[in-house]
Amino acid sequence: MATCRHGNDAPDETMDGLHENQGGRQRHKCAVCAYERGYQIGRSGADLPGGNEECDERLLAPDAMIDSLPEAQGTTARHKCCVCAYHMGFGKGHAIAG
Ligand SMILES: [Zn+2]
Ligand SMILES: [Zn+2]
């Protein structure tokens, strides 16, 4: 598991599979925390909120969610795409919620 210093974790293979995204709003944001946000929404049985932050994979996330993520200075998740992490987490949580 990839663990961040904010107390969240995500599977290594998920983090490794994310494309890099170092620019703009996501700069230095923690992708592990983004994964956890999506995961919690998925587990709750709710639909995944869309948004207006679009990444290179054309996935969407709420810009307010991205803004609320803590910084990931010096961790492996530092340069990973938080939008994709959010969607990956949602998929995992949704599968468990069944
Ligand atoms: Zn984090
Ligand atoms: Zn992405």
Phi–psi pair at 78, nearest 5 degrees: -60, -40
* Cα-to-centroid distance, 60 and ligand 2 (Å): 8
* Cα-to-centroid distance, 52 and ligand 2 (Å): 13
Helix H or strand E encompassing 87: helix 82-97
Question: pLDDT at residue 98 above 80?
Answer: no
Summarised one tens digit per residue, pLDDT across range 32-91 is: 999 999 999 999 999 999 899 999 999 999 999 999 999 987 666 668 999 999 999 999
Q: What is the pLDDT of residue 28?
A: 87
What residue segments make up the domains of the chain, in order of their start? 2-97
Q: What is the pLDDT of residue 86?
A: 97
* Cα-to-centroid distance, 47 and ligand 1 (Å): 23
For residue 19, the ligand closest to its alpha carbon is 2
**Count of all residues that appear for the chain in the document:** 98
* Cα-to-centroid distance, 44 and ligand 1 (Å): 20
Q: CB of 10 within 8 A of CB of 36? A: yes
